[in-house]
Amino acid sequence: MISINGYPAKIDYFPDGTFLIKENVSEWAETFKIRSVCFEWYFENNAELLALQFLAWHFQDHGMITRLYMPYIPNARMDRVKNPEDVFTLKYFARIINSIGFEKVTVVDPHSAVSEALINNLKIIDASEYIKSVLEVLRHEPGILQVVFPDEGAEKRYGEFIPEEIPVSSGMKIRDWSTGKILGLELHGASVADADKVLIIDDICSYGGSAYYTAKHIKAMNPETKVYFYVTHCENSVLEGKLGEKKVSLLDTGLIEALYTTGDILTKEHEKIILV
């Protein structure tokens, strides 16, 4: 979804599927008494990129300064190539964004440092305030709270946001490297055996495999421990049945009490999902 200064962009289509877009720039300037606009892009699909490009250039051609708020960076997972046939989509996505000519591009908690290097005029909002708000909620509930990072990358990214008095442990994923599938997880650091509640913290989630195996390990150590999950960017696929022997969604496994997320790419609802 694309909006301009908080108002949904007017995007329609001709019968052949090409865009029919109308935005009166003079009306914008007169109404808001400004010579700049901020585009907000809550990613739903790559086709939106072309509409964003057309809209931004339209406003620029009429003398307006354009900025972009893009909380989730599309294609960030494809931040490296291993084989000659691999298409480096993040690199080319960043090239398109840079070509549009935004004065500033604001993103939230980038999944990859590569995207930070590739996108020009970047401003980063970290996840500290989101995580602190979740910790504040959980600390008011009775019992010992512990934080678990599913991997070393998450620990490096978020470790500094965790108060010293909260015990922390970090996971090491066991993978089938031929398929990339997660087979299990080992935890290092503070033991979760004595924790009454555990918050798993990560940056991005598709089906929730990392959280699933982390929560499964925690429950094996102490079945009474309540497990919560914070992730900045959560895809709708988290609600699809892909996990465990019964092939259910992460939130229907019985392992997770609640999932906290920003909702920047999540459009579906579930009783256990809490937006922060």
Model confidence over 60-116: pLDDT tens digits?
A: 999 999 999 999 999 988 888 888 888 999 999 999 999 999 999 999 999 888 999
Structure tokens, 26:
């003079």
Res 161: pLDDT: 94
For residue 196, the model assigns a pLDDT of: 92
User: Within the chain, how many helices (H) and strands (E) appear?
Assistant: 7, 15
pTM: 0.88
Rounded distance between C-alpha atoms, residue 89 and residue 73, angstroms: 12
Contact assessment for residue 241 and residue 248, using Cβ atoms and an 8 Å cutoff: yes
Does the pLDDT at position 212 exceed 80?
Answer: yes
- Confidence band for 125, pLDDT divided at 50, 70 and 90: very high
Tens digits of residue pLDDT in 176-210: 666 666 666 777 776 778 889 999 999 999 999 88
43-47, 49-53, 103-107: lowest mean pLDDT where?
Answer: 43-47
Average pLDDT value for the chain? 90
pLDDT at residue 122 greater than cutoff 80 = yes
* Helix axis angle, 89-100 to 47-61, nearest 10°: 20
Structure tokens belonging to residue 132: 């602190």
Exposed/middle/buried for 199, CB within 10 Å: 0-12, 13-18, 19+?
buried
Task: Find the range with the poorest average confidence among 162-166, 242-246, 256-260.
Answer: 242-246
Question: Which tokens is 171 given?
Answer: 């996971």
40-44 average pLDDT score = 95
Cβ contact 214:185 at 8 Å: yes
Dihedral sign from CA coordinates of 114, 117, 118, 121: positive
pLDDT at 175: 66
Q: Which two tokens stand for residue 53?
A: 């490009």
